[in-house]
Amino acid sequence: MKIYWDLFSTFFRMGAVTFGGGYAMLPILQREVVENRGWCTDGELADYYAIGQCTPGIIAVNTATFIGFKQKGVPGAIVATYGLVAPSFIVIGIIAALLQNFADYAVVQNAFAGIRVAVTVLILNAVLKLLKSSVVDKPTGCIFIAVALAAWFLDLSPVIFVLIAGALGVALQVGKGARKS
């Protein structure tokens, strides 16, 4: 039972203190599940992010589900996912009841502007950490540059970019194997 409590409480704490959506949660996920808990490696977490981006739902929720599943199967996935989303349900319920009354106040609008800036920095931090663990050689660097340029200039679904990058990774690996033969 301890692992279920650990999954729930760890993801509940992350869900309670992370603002700005799934991407803002990525650096906290990395610190908690890789560095503090050892529930997965940086490489596994990067894979969970990639798969989580391609599947319906919020990337952080999908990642929590994968980590919970890795630890304790379906029950672990349910507990981790519930732990992550429970604070949002509580906070959203409270905010929904109060926001209509205070949304037009300058202090509330200014607070949201400040929060958006902080969340941007947190997302950038997560991207830089992922970059270090994902771009490990020239071929992955080329894939990174190709996808980054395509994402900046083309208005396509992120799923398309992930699928193309996956195909490029397979093609590069097959090409590497053919050169060794």
**Based on the domain organization, do 167 and 95 belong to the same domain?**
no
CA atoms within 13 A on the CB side of 91: 11
pLDDT at position 67, please? 94
Six-digit token pair at 153?
């200039």
Contact (Cβ atoms closer than 8 angstroms) between residue 29 and residue 60: yes
**Over the stretch 1-27, which tens digit does the pLDDT of each residue have?**
899 999 999 999 988 877 666 677 778
Distances (CA, A) of 165 to 5, 102, 142, 170, 175: 37, 45, 10, 9, 15
**Based on the domain organization, do 127 and 146 belong to the same domain?**
no
Give burial (CB, 10 Å; 0-12/13-18/19+) of 62. Answer: buried
**Based on the domain organization, do 140 and 65 belong to the same domain?**
no
**Based on the domain organization, do 152 and 120 belong to the same domain?**
no
Domain of 103 in residue numbering reads as 2-133
**Over the stretch 13-62, which tens digit does the pLDDT of each residue have?**
988 877 666 677 778 888 899 999 999 998 898 888 888 877 887 888 89
**Based on the domain organization, do 119 and 71 belong to the same domain?**
yes
pLDDT at position 49, please? 84
CA atoms within 13 A on the CB side of 141: 4
